[in-house]
């Protein structure tokens, strides 16, 4: 007897090799197969008399094999199987290619179903390579004469094999426990889970298939909402330092800025300060386009935390960015007695305010350097007020109590583990994450419902629009002439190279080649720099520093290397293989220029002949708004592509998508209704168990 836990290997017709292939699809057990949903269906349910199978039609017929034989085509050395099949209404010729075994499977006299298309060519009118299936008494058809499921598969495993195995395990659907509370099923019109699982594979009709899909999509979206609501409630149960608003210091800080805050910045800062005053941990995402000025907002938060006697940590995705944030923040806090520290793998730095002399254990390398152990000791004793570093380093090395605020740049949220690490044994800190990636509304409804959101909508005034052009291959040299002219005028340029193939995970190959080409052939007289992810971080820092100081004219970089650094003098962003990037991502690259009074340019190069790709790129030339570009991305490429599932922390759903707007809303409502009644879900052990499995499966952390 088959059980849910049974390894796929023990199923009928599965040998070691097939088991391995199944494993590659993540299918290890009978249960895995049951939850491996088809990605589309073919409706072969209508059975027609053979006489109605006319040229151009498609359908299923039921007949008797009258004749079957293999022949060889003369030129192409293909094997051809020809058969004649008849029913009461007539007969039809059937042709298959390169399946000589068919004469062993189908014998004269067999009753069979055939589903396929009717063609007309040198064979005359015939069914061409139809699906076939012998009719067995008391057994329903699997591959023909029904709505047939089609599964995603790998090269060496056929959808027919998967279908056969799923059919074997399908009766287990009746044994899967329905964890959904009955009242939710009733209120939201959901069919039973076992019904849904059976019908999702072998639907009796289009309408029950719809119900099955609805139920299974609802399940995923509902579990995400429950997950988020529990996270939120959990956080609400703990306390965090109450950070009171320090008006005088804040005014002094904003007054010293060389610009006025935008309304968006003001509003965001106010929302953050209000959260932090509450005594409950803040859990806020600050979203704002590249260059909208998120850093000052974070600085205002850190300043208030400092004035309340607590410390902040500020985490960046890369060392280069951490360094840049350090430079920026120590500048911003120049007139405040705030000790700002930078922790990277290769060095540490501390900005030691003049009126604060108690940083002992300093090695006098120069006035702002100390040893790493010295730094960590000071940091762990709480003597460094604002510690800047990469995510990994800070979590690993810093064991300070009294962190009042943790800021994370270019990340959507804090993970559970990350939170735990930052909490230590002390109180929960406030959490602020920042992102330049625009989050479409459905996205925030589904994945970010546990977070409070602040959005900076406008850009600081006076920014020049970046002129964007898609450059045709024949105009490449003109673009180079233009770049040469800009560089002569003292400006600088970025060149971004895409990944060429998957084996070259970091895009190193293409960047190196481009670097060689530009420095040897195109711009031999200019200074070209190269930046890629395989370089040592000292070397990366050195290249960035040289670029920042205009010792490098053109910086060739992989897309993988974060170029989120501020080089105001760079006015040209050139992107090779632009069609390989999402619009939102191109927009991020473009945001690296246009940070000064000089007019900036973005040139998109594309080798692709694909019209769709070209259309997509043209959008960049007219649209300057990251938010609409992200929406366009969703339209052109779908969420999976845009959001590179794992890396952005988006769970990998089996069946629900962001297009399921109505179900998203219902699932949210259902989850809220349930949690309101039973905040701990203590009466729903099956739901909690399912949630646990789900979180592991889709990597919700």
Q: How many residues does the chain have?
A: 701
**Applying CB under 6 A, which part among 202-210, 215-223, 259-267, 618-626 lies near ligand ADP?**
259-267
In the complex, least distance from residue 395 CB atom to ligand ADP, rounded to whole angstroms: 22
From candidates 59, 281, 291, 341, binder to ligand ADP by CB under 6 A? 291
**Applying CB under 6 A, which part among 213-221, 261-269, 300-308, 537-545 lies near ligand ADP?**
261-269
Name the residue nearer to ligand ADP (CB basis): 263 or 381: 263
Q: Which of residues 523-582 bind ligand ADP (CB under 6 A)?
A: 566
- Could you say whether residue 348 binds ligand ADP (CB under 6 A)? no
Name the residue nearer to ligand ADP (CB basis): 97 or 259: 259
Cβ atoms of 95 and 129 within 8 Å: the answer is: yes
Q: Which of residues 458-487 bind ligand ADP (CB under 6 A)?
A: 460
Provide the CB-side half-sphere exposure for 44 (13 A, CA).
27
String of DSSP letters for 537-599: HHHHHHHHHHHHTTS-SEEEEESSS------TTEEEEEETTGGGS-HHHHHHHHTTS--SSS-
Other CB atoms within a 10 A radius of the CB of residue 354 amount to: 7
From candidates 295, 411, 435, 600, binder to ligand ADP by CB under 6 A? 295
- Could you say whether residue 506 binds ligand ADP (CB under 6 A)? no
SS3 content of the chain, % helix, strand, coil (to 5): 40, 20, 40
Q: How far apart are CA 479 and CA 578, in angstroms?
A: 15
Whole-number CA gyration radius for the chain: 31
Name the residue nearer to ligand ADP (CB basis): 209 or 436: 436
- Which residue has the CB atom at the shortest distance from ligand ADP? 293
- Could you say whether residue 292 binds ligand ADP (CB under 6 A)? yes
Q: How far apart are CA 297 and CA 295, in angstroms?
A: 5
Q: How far apart are CA 298 and CA 432, in angstroms?
A: 8
Name the residue nearer to ligand ADP (CB basis): 456 or 561: 456
- Could you say whether residue 438 binds ligand ADP (CB under 6 A)? no
Q: How far apart are CA 123 and CA 94, in angstroms?
A: 9
- Could you say whether residue 290 binds ligand ADP (CB under 6 A)? yes
Q: Which residues contact 669 (CB under 8 A, 6 or more apart)?
A: none
In the complex, least distance from residue 446 CB atom to ligand ADP, rounded to whole angstroms: 25
In the complex, least distance from residue 456 CB atom to ligand ADP, rounded to whole angstroms: 7
In the complex, least distance from residue 626 CB atom to ligand ADP, rounded to whole angstroms: 10
In the complex, least distance from residue 457 CB atom to ligand ADP, rounded to whole angstroms: 12
From candidates 208, 261, 526, 623, binder to ligand ADP by CB under 6 A? 261
Residue with tokens 């094997």: 79
Going by their DSSP bridges, the two strands 58-72 and 111-121 should be labelled as antiparallel
Name the residue nearer to ligand ADP (CB basis): 101 or 259: 259
Which pairs count as long-range contacts for 206-210, CB under 8 Å and 24+ apart, including other chains?
Answer: 206/43, 206/147, 209/41, 209/147
In the complex, least distance from residue 291 CB atom to ligand ADP, rounded to whole angstroms: 5
Name the residue nearer to ligand ADP (CB basis): 332 or 493: 332
**Applying CB under 6 A, which part among 169-177, 187-195, 288-296, 358-366 lies near ligand ADP?**
288-296
Other CB atoms within a 10 A radius of the CB of residue 147 amount to: 19
From candidates 63, 181, 281, 293, binder to ligand ADP by CB under 6 A? 293
Total number of residues that touch ligand ADP (CB under 6 A): 15
Other CB atoms within a 10 A radius of the CB of residue 596 amount to: 16
From candidates 144, 228, 262, 347, binder to ligand ADP by CB under 6 A? 262
- Could you say whether residue 457 binds ligand ADP (CB under 6 A)? no
- Could you say whether residue 436 binds ligand ADP (CB under 6 A)? yes
From candidates 167, 198, 213, 294, binder to ligand ADP by CB under 6 A? 294
Cβ atoms of 64 and 86 within 8 Å: the answer is: yes
Cβ atoms of 571 and 590 within 8 Å: the answer is: no
Contacts with ligand ADP, residue ranges (CB under 6 A): 259, 261-262, 265, 288, 290-296, 436, 460, 566
């Amino acid at each position: 007897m088959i059980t849910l836990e049974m390894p796929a290997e023990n199923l009928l017709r599965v040998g070691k090799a097939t088991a391995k292939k199944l494993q590659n699809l993540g299918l290890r057990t009978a249960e895995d197969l049951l939850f491996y949903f088809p990605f589309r269906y073919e409706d072969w349910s209508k059975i027609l008399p053979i006489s109605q199978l006319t040229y151009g039609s498609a359908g299923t017929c039921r007949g008797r094999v009258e004749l079957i034989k293999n022949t060889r085509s003369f030129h192409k050395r293909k094997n051809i199987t020809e058969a004649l099949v008849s029913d009461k209404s007539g007969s039809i010729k059937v042709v298959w290619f390169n399946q000589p075994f068919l004469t062993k499977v189908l014998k004269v006299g067999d009753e069979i179903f055939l589903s396929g298309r009717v063609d007309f060519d040198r064979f005359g009118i015939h069914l061409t390579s139809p699906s076939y299936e012998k009719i067995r008494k008391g057994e329903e058809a699997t591959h023909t004469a029904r709505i047939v499921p089609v599964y995603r598969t790998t090269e060496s495993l056929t959808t027919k094999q998967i279908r056969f195995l799923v059919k074997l395990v399908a009766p287990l659907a009746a044994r899967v426990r329905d964890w959904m509370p009955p009242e939710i099923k009733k209120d939201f019109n959901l069919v039973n889970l076992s019904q849904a699982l059976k019908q999702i594979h072998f639907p009796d009709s289009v309408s029950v298939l719809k119900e099955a899909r609805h139920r299974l999509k609802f399940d995923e979206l509902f579990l995400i909402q429950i997950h988020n609501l529990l996270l939120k409630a959990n956080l609400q149960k703990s306390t965090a330092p109450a950070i009171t608003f320090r008006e005088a210091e804040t005014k002094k800080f904003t007054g010293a800025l060389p610009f006025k805050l935008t309304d968006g910045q003001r509003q965001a800062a106010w929302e953050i300060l209000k959260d932090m005053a509450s005594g409950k941990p803040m859990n806020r995402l600050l979203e704002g386009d590249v260059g909208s000025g998120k850093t000052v907002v974070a600085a205002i938060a850190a300043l208030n935390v400092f004035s309340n006697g607590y410390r902040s940590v500020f985490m960046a995705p890369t060392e280069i960015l951490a360094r840049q944030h350090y430079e920026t923040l120590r500048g911003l806090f120049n007139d405040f007695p705030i000790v700002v520290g930078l922790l990277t793998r290769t060095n540490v730095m501390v900005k030691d305010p003049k009126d604060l002399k108690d940083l002992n254990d300093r090695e006098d390398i120069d006035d702002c350097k100390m040893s790493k152990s010295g730094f960590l000791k000071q940091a762990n004793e709480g003597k460094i007020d604002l510690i800047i570093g990469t995510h990994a380093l800070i979590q690993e090395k810093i064991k300070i109590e009294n962190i009042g605020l943790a800021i994370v740049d270019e990340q959507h949220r804090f993970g559970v583990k990350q939170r735990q690490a930052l909490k230590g044994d002390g109180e929960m800190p406030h959490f602020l994450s920042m992102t330049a990636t625009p989050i479409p509304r459905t996205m925030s409804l589904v994945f970010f419902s546990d977070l409070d959101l602040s959005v900076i909508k406008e850009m600081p005034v006076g920014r020049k629009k970046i002129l964007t052009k898609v450059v045709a291959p024949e105009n490449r040299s003109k673009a180079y002439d233009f770049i040469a002219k800009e560089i002569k005028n003292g400006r600088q340029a970025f060149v971004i190279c895409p990944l060429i193939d998957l084996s070259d995970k970091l895009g190193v190959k293409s960047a190196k080649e481009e670097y060689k080409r530009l420095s040897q052939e195109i711009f031999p007289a200019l200074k070209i720099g190269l930046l890629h992810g395989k370089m040592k971080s000292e070397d990366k820092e050195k290249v960035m520093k040289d670029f920042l100081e205009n010792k490098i004219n053109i910086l060739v970089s992989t897309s993988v290397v974060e170029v989120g650094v501020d080089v105001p003098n760079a006015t040209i962003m050139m992107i090779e293989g632009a069609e390989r990037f999402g619009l939102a991502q191109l927009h991020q690259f473009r945001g690296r220029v246009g940070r000064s009074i000089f007019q900036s340019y973005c040139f998109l190069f594309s080798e692709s002949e694909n019209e769709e790709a070209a259309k997509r790129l043209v959008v960049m030339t007219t649209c300057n708004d990251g938010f609409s570009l992200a929406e366009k991305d969703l339209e052109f490429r779908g969420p999976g592509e845009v959001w590179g599932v794992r890396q952005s922390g988006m769970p990998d759903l089996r069946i629900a998508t962001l297009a399921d707007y109505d179900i998203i809303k219902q699932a949210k409502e259902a989850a809220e209704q349930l949690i309101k009644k039973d905040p701990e879900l203590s009466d729903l052990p099956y739901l909690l168990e399912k949630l646990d499995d789900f979180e592991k499966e889709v990597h919700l952390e």
